[in-house]
Structure 1
Amino acid sequence: MSDTAEIKTNPMETHSALPPEETERLTREIIAGLKTVFDPEIPADIYELGLIYKVEIKDDRSVDVQMTLTTPNCPAAGELPTMVENAVASVPGVGVVDVKVVWEPPWSPERMSDEARLVLNMW
Protein backbone atom coordinates (compact mmCIF):
# COMPACT_ATOMS: atom_id res chain seq x y z
CA MET A 1 0.00 0.00 0.00
CA SER A 2 1.42 3.42 -0.85
CA ASP A 3 2.24 5.94 1.87
CA THR A 4 -0.57 8.22 0.72
CA ALA A 5 -3.17 5.46 0.85
CA GLU A 6 -1.79 4.24 4.17
CA ILE A 7 -2.26 7.67 5.76
CA LYS A 8 -5.69 8.11 4.19
CA THR A 9 -7.17 4.72 5.02
CA ASN A 10 -5.02 2.91 7.62
CA PRO A 11 -7.61 1.03 9.68
CA MET A 12 -5.32 -0.51 12.29
CA GLU A 13 -5.67 0.61 15.91
CA THR A 14 -3.24 -0.77 18.44
CA HIS A 15 -4.05 0.63 21.87
CA SER A 16 -3.18 -2.69 23.43
CA ALA A 17 -1.21 -3.56 26.55
CA LEU A 18 0.27 -6.49 24.63
CA PRO A 19 4.04 -6.31 24.09
CA PRO A 20 4.82 -4.09 21.07
CA GLU A 21 6.48 -6.91 19.13
CA GLU A 22 3.39 -9.10 19.59
CA THR A 23 1.08 -6.26 18.54
CA GLU A 24 3.24 -5.68 15.44
CA ARG A 25 3.16 -9.39 14.57
CA LEU A 26 -0.61 -9.59 15.01
CA THR A 27 -1.07 -6.43 12.94
CA ARG A 28 1.08 -7.77 10.10
CA GLU A 29 -0.64 -11.15 10.09
CA ILE A 30 -4.16 -9.70 10.35
CA ILE A 31 -3.47 -7.44 7.37
CA ALA A 32 -2.05 -10.43 5.46
CA GLY A 33 -5.20 -12.39 6.31
CA LEU A 34 -7.47 -9.56 5.20
CA LYS A 35 -5.59 -9.42 1.90
CA THR A 36 -6.72 -12.99 1.18
CA VAL A 37 -10.38 -11.90 1.14
CA PHE A 38 -11.71 -10.76 -2.23
CA ASP A 39 -15.07 -9.33 -3.19
CA PRO A 40 -16.25 -12.00 -5.66
CA GLU A 41 -17.12 -9.33 -8.23
CA ILE A 42 -13.90 -7.28 -7.98
CA PRO A 43 -10.39 -8.67 -8.61
CA ALA A 44 -8.79 -6.79 -5.69
CA ASP A 45 -8.65 -7.69 -2.02
CA ILE A 46 -10.91 -5.93 0.47
CA TYR A 47 -8.00 -4.35 2.38
CA GLU A 48 -6.61 -2.64 -0.72
CA LEU A 49 -10.13 -1.69 -1.80
CA GLY A 50 -10.46 0.27 1.44
CA LEU A 51 -13.43 -1.75 2.72
CA ILE A 52 -11.80 -2.25 6.13
CA TYR A 53 -12.47 0.88 8.19
CA LYS A 54 -11.14 -0.16 11.58
CA VAL A 55 -9.32 -3.09 13.18
CA GLU A 56 -8.78 -2.95 16.92
CA ILE A 57 -6.63 -5.50 18.75
CA LYS A 58 -7.64 -5.64 22.40
CA ASP A 59 -5.66 -6.66 25.48
CA ASP A 60 -7.36 -10.08 25.59
CA ARG A 61 -6.36 -10.65 21.93
CA SER A 62 -9.92 -10.26 20.72
CA VAL A 63 -10.21 -8.27 17.52
CA ASP A 64 -12.99 -5.88 16.49
CA VAL A 65 -13.33 -5.14 12.78
CA GLN A 66 -15.47 -2.45 11.19
CA MET A 67 -15.90 -2.87 7.47
CA THR A 68 -18.13 -1.65 4.71
CA LEU A 69 -19.22 -2.84 1.30
CA THR A 70 -18.97 -1.09 -2.05
CA THR A 71 -22.76 -0.63 -2.06
CA PRO A 72 -25.59 -1.47 0.34
CA ASN A 73 -26.92 -3.85 -2.34
CA CYS A 74 -23.64 -5.74 -2.66
CA PRO A 75 -24.41 -9.35 -3.67
CA ALA A 76 -21.58 -10.55 -1.38
CA ALA A 77 -23.04 -8.82 1.70
CA GLY A 78 -23.99 -12.13 3.29
CA GLU A 79 -20.61 -13.78 2.84
CA LEU A 80 -17.91 -11.10 3.11
CA PRO A 81 -18.23 -10.45 6.88
CA THR A 82 -17.90 -14.18 7.57
CA MET A 83 -14.91 -14.39 5.24
CA VAL A 84 -13.30 -11.49 7.14
CA GLU A 85 -14.04 -13.11 10.49
CA ASN A 86 -12.49 -16.40 9.35
CA ALA A 87 -9.41 -14.70 7.89
CA VAL A 88 -8.71 -12.75 11.10
CA ALA A 89 -9.52 -15.72 13.36
CA SER A 90 -6.99 -17.85 11.47
CA VAL A 91 -4.12 -15.68 12.74
CA PRO A 92 -2.28 -17.51 15.54
CA GLY A 93 -2.85 -15.77 18.87
CA VAL A 94 -6.09 -14.02 17.91
CA GLY A 95 -9.04 -14.62 20.22
CA VAL A 96 -12.66 -13.77 19.52
CA VAL A 97 -13.29 -11.80 16.31
CA ASP A 98 -16.25 -9.43 15.99
CA VAL A 99 -17.01 -8.04 12.52
CA LYS A 100 -19.50 -5.21 12.04
CA VAL A 101 -20.63 -3.78 8.72
CA VAL A 102 -20.92 0.01 8.84
CA TRP A 103 -22.18 2.47 6.24
CA GLU A 104 -20.61 5.71 7.45
CA PRO A 105 -18.63 7.08 5.87
CA PRO A 106 -19.89 5.69 2.59
CA TRP A 107 -17.27 3.81 0.59
CA SER A 108 -15.90 5.53 -2.50
CA PRO A 109 -13.10 4.67 -4.95
CA GLU A 110 -10.89 7.29 -3.26
CA ARG A 111 -10.44 4.80 -0.40
CA MET A 112 -8.64 2.35 -2.70
CA SER A 113 -4.88 1.96 -2.51
CA ASP A 114 -2.65 2.58 -5.51
CA GLU A 115 -2.26 -1.22 -5.75
CA ALA A 116 -6.03 -1.70 -6.11
CA ARG A 117 -6.24 1.10 -8.66
CA LEU A 118 -3.53 -0.59 -10.71
CA VAL A 119 -5.26 -3.99 -10.55
CA LEU A 120 -8.57 -2.41 -11.57
CA ASN A 121 -6.94 -0.25 -14.25
CA MET A 122 -8.32 2.94 -12.68
CA TRP A 123 -5.52 5.39 -13.49
Structure 2
Amino acid sequence: MTDTIEAKNLEAKNPDARTSNMQTHSALPPEETDRLAGEIVAALKTVFDPEIPADIYELGLIYKVDIKDDRTVDVEMTLTTPNCPAAGELPTMVENAIASVPGVGVVNINLIWEPPWTPDRMTDEARLVLNMW
Protein backbone atom coordinates (compact mmCIF):
# COMPACT_ATOMS: atom_id res chain seq x y z
CA MET A 1 0.00 0.00 0.00
CA THR A 2 0.99 3.64 -0.12
CA ASP A 3 0.55 6.85 1.79
CA THR A 4 -0.25 9.71 -0.55
CA ILE A 5 0.36 13.40 -0.12
CA GLU A 6 -1.95 15.23 -2.50
CA ALA A 7 0.45 18.09 -2.74
CA LYS A 8 -1.52 21.11 -3.90
CA ASN A 9 0.05 23.40 -1.33
CA LEU A 10 -1.26 21.33 1.54
CA GLU A 11 -0.24 23.04 4.72
CA ALA A 12 -0.54 26.49 3.17
CA LYS A 13 -4.26 25.89 2.58
CA ASN A 14 -4.96 23.63 5.57
CA PRO A 15 -2.35 22.67 8.20
CA ASP A 16 -4.03 19.29 8.76
CA ALA A 17 -4.39 18.48 5.05
CA ARG A 18 -1.10 16.62 4.75
CA THR A 19 -2.26 13.78 6.94
CA SER A 20 -5.93 13.94 5.99
CA ASN A 21 -5.07 13.46 2.29
CA MET A 22 -2.94 10.42 2.95
CA GLN A 23 -4.14 6.90 2.41
CA THR A 24 -4.07 5.08 5.72
CA HIS A 25 -3.56 1.50 4.51
CA SER A 26 0.20 1.54 5.01
CA ALA A 27 2.34 -0.99 6.82
CA LEU A 28 4.46 1.91 8.09
CA PRO A 29 3.42 3.26 11.49
CA PRO A 30 1.39 6.49 11.25
CA GLU A 31 4.01 8.46 13.15
CA GLU A 32 6.64 7.35 10.63
CA THR A 33 4.51 8.31 7.63
CA ASP A 34 3.79 11.66 9.27
CA ARG A 35 7.50 12.21 9.87
CA LEU A 36 8.41 11.22 6.31
CA ALA A 37 5.63 13.37 4.83
CA GLY A 38 6.68 16.42 6.84
CA GLU A 39 10.35 16.01 6.03
CA ILE A 40 9.63 15.40 2.34
CA VAL A 41 7.58 18.60 2.15
CA ALA A 42 10.38 20.47 3.95
CA ALA A 43 12.90 19.03 1.45
CA LEU A 44 10.69 20.07 -1.48
CA LYS A 45 10.63 23.61 -0.11
CA THR A 46 14.42 23.78 -0.53
CA VAL A 47 14.14 23.36 -4.31
CA PHE A 48 13.75 26.59 -6.27
CA ASP A 49 13.08 27.10 -9.94
CA PRO A 50 16.28 28.85 -11.05
CA GLU A 51 14.27 31.57 -12.80
CA ILE A 52 11.57 32.14 -10.16
CA PRO A 53 12.35 33.23 -6.58
CA ALA A 54 9.83 30.80 -5.02
CA ASP A 55 10.19 27.16 -4.12
CA ILE A 56 8.57 24.50 -6.30
CA TYR A 57 6.21 23.36 -3.55
CA GLU A 58 4.77 26.85 -3.01
CA LEU A 59 4.57 27.30 -6.79
CA GLY A 60 2.33 24.23 -6.92
CA LEU A 61 4.60 22.20 -9.20
CA ILE A 62 4.30 19.08 -7.02
CA TYR A 63 1.03 17.28 -7.76
CA LYS A 64 1.39 14.08 -5.74
CA VAL A 65 3.84 12.26 -3.50
CA ASP A 66 3.28 8.55 -2.76
CA ILE A 67 5.20 6.99 0.11
CA LYS A 68 5.16 3.23 -0.35
CA ASP A 69 5.53 0.54 2.31
CA ASP A 70 9.11 -0.16 1.18
CA ARG A 71 9.85 3.60 1.55
CA THR A 72 9.99 4.15 -2.17
CA VAL A 73 8.70 7.63 -2.96
CA ASP A 74 6.88 8.29 -6.24
CA VAL A 75 6.41 11.93 -7.21
CA GLU A 76 4.16 13.46 -9.86
CA MET A 77 5.29 16.95 -10.73
CA THR A 78 5.05 19.44 -13.53
CA LEU A 79 6.82 22.56 -14.71
CA THR A 80 5.42 26.03 -15.29
CA THR A 81 5.68 25.39 -19.04
CA PRO A 82 6.84 22.49 -21.23
CA ASN A 83 9.52 24.84 -22.59
CA CYS A 84 10.89 25.57 -19.12
CA PRO A 85 14.68 26.05 -19.33
CA ALA A 86 15.04 24.16 -16.02
CA ALA A 87 13.28 21.04 -17.37
CA GLY A 88 16.51 19.09 -17.41
CA GLU A 89 17.57 19.94 -13.88
CA LEU A 90 14.45 20.43 -11.73
CA PRO A 91 13.36 16.76 -11.61
CA THR A 92 16.88 15.75 -10.54
CA MET A 93 16.91 18.49 -7.91
CA VAL A 94 13.57 17.18 -6.56
CA GLU A 95 14.85 13.60 -6.56
CA ASN A 96 18.01 14.59 -4.68
CA ALA A 97 16.12 16.68 -2.13
CA ILE A 98 13.69 13.86 -1.29
CA ALA A 99 16.46 11.24 -1.28
CA SER A 100 18.23 13.28 1.42
CA VAL A 101 15.36 12.62 3.87
CA PRO A 102 16.41 9.92 6.37
CA GLY A 103 14.43 6.73 5.84
CA VAL A 104 13.48 7.39 2.22
CA GLY A 105 14.29 4.63 -0.26
CA VAL A 106 14.26 4.93 -4.04
CA VAL A 107 12.77 8.18 -5.40
CA ASN A 108 10.93 8.09 -8.74
CA ILE A 109 10.02 11.35 -10.47
CA ASN A 110 7.23 11.37 -13.05
CA LEU A 111 7.03 14.62 -15.00
CA ILE A 112 3.42 15.14 -16.10
CA TRP A 113 1.61 17.82 -18.10
CA GLU A 114 -2.04 17.11 -17.23
CA PRO A 115 -3.50 19.00 -15.62
CA PRO A 116 -1.37 21.86 -16.87
CA TRP A 117 0.15 24.15 -14.28
CA THR A 118 -1.54 27.53 -13.80
CA PRO A 119 -0.79 30.37 -11.36
CA ASP A 120 -3.92 29.30 -9.44
CA ARG A 121 -1.82 26.46 -7.98
CA MET A 122 0.48 28.91 -6.16
CA THR A 123 0.14 29.50 -2.45
CA ASP A 124 -0.36 32.95 -1.00
CA GLU A 125 3.29 32.82 0.06
CA ALA A 126 4.43 32.34 -3.55
CA ARG A 127 2.07 35.10 -4.72
CA LEU A 128 3.58 37.45 -2.14
CA VAL A 129 7.16 36.60 -3.16
CA LEU A 130 6.29 37.12 -6.83
CA ASN A 131 4.17 40.22 -6.14
CA MET A 132 1.15 38.65 -7.84
CA TRP A 133 -1.73 39.99 -5.74
Q: Verify same fold: TM over 0.5.
A: yes
Alignment of 1:34-73 (within 5 A): 34-73=44-83
Change beyond 3 A, Cα 1:13–1:100: farther
AA of the residue aligned to 1:75: P
- Aligned partner of 1:24 in structure 2 is 34
The answer to whether the 8 A contact 1:39-1:80 is kept is: yes
Q: Distance in 2 between matches of 1:63 and 1:86?
A: 12
- The alpha carbon displacement at 1:3 in A equals 2.2
Give runs of aligned pairs for residues 1-123 of structure 1, distance below 5 A. Answer: 1-3=11-13, 13-15=22-24, 16-123=26-133
8 Å contact from structure 1 (residues 39, 46) kept in 2: yes
Distance 1:92 1:105 in 2: 31
How many residues align? The count is 120
1:18-77 CA-partner distances (Å, limit 9, x unpaired): 100000000000000000000000000000000000000000000000000000000000
Q: CA RMSD in A?
A: 2.0
Q: Percent identity?
A: 76
One-letter identity of the residue aligned with 1:119 = V
- Following superposition, the deviation at residue 17 of structure 1 comes to 1.9
Q: Secondary structure at the match of 1:42?
A: coil
- What SS does the aligned partner of 2:47 have? coil
**Length-normalised TM-score, structure 2:** 0.84
Q: Which runs of 5+ in 1 are unaligned?
A: none
Higher relative contact order (CA 8 A, sep 6+): 1
Q: In 1, distance between residues paired with 2:23 and 2:96?
A: 20
Runs of 5+ unmatched residues, structure 2: 1-10
Q: Which residue is 2:6 aligned to?
A: none
What's the CA shift for 1:101? 0.3
